[in-house]
Amino acid sequence: MIRILLFETTSFAGFFALREDSVSPWWDYPGLELWKFVNLGIFVLALLYFVKRPLSDAFRSRRETIRRELAEAQQERDRALSKLAAVEERLRGLDSEVAALHEQSKLQAEAERERIAQETEREIATVRAQAQREIESAGKLARHELRRFAAQQSVRRAEEIVRREIRLDDDTRLIERNVEQLGRSDL
C-alpha cells in the first residue's frame, strides 16, 4: 500500500510539474515536496480511520471513570462537610452542655444534701425514741429492783426486830395460835 501511495504521489507531483528548463514550482521545492505532505495526510487519515473507534472508546471509558470518581469525591466531600458541620455545631453547644451539666450536678448535689439531712433527722428521731424507750425500760427495771431490794431489806429488818424482841414465851404463844388456826381451817 505504501508503494501505491508513493507511486500515486509521484505521478501526482508529475502532473503539476512544469517544464524542465523552468524553475521548480512551490510544491516541488527540494526537501519539501508536496507528495510527502499528501502521503503524510493519507497515512494520518488511514491511522485515524483504524484507530478512531478504539481511541474514542478508551477516551469515553476514561471520561466516564473520571466523572464517576469526581461524583464519588463530591459525595465524600459533602459527607465530610456535613460531619464537620455537625462537629462544629456540637462544639458550639459544648459550652452550654458543660454549663448545663454543671448546673445539673449542683442541683443533684443540693438534692442529695437535703435527702441526707432529712434521713439524718429521721435517724436522730428514731435513735432518740429508742433511747427514751430504753431509759424508761431501765427506769422500770431499776424501780422493780429497788422495790425488791426494799422488800428484802424490810423483811430482813423485820426478822432482826422479831428475833431481838420476841422472847421464848412469845414464840410459844405464836406457835399455839398458828396451830389453832390451822386446826380450825381443817373443819
Residue at 37 is within a domain: yes
Residue at 183 is within a domain: no
Residue at 142 is within a domain: yes
pLDDT in tens, 50-97: 888 888 889 899 999 999 999 999 999 999 999 999 888 888 888 888
CA distances from 117 to 57, 104, 121 (A): 85, 20, 6
Looking at the 3D structure of the chain, how many domains does it have?
Answer: 1
CA 85, distance to chain mean position in Å, is: 21
pLDDT in tens, 124-180: 999 999 999 999 999 999 999 999 999 999 999 988 888 888 777 877 888 888 888
pLDDT at 103 over 80: yes
Confidence band, pLDDT 50/70/90 cuts, at residue 20? low
What's residue 134's pLDDT? 92
For the chain, report the end-to-end CA distance as a whole number of angstroms. Answer: 174
Residue 72: which domain range?
2-175
What's residue 147's pLDDT? 92
Q: Are 39 and 5 in contact (CB under 8 A)?
A: yes
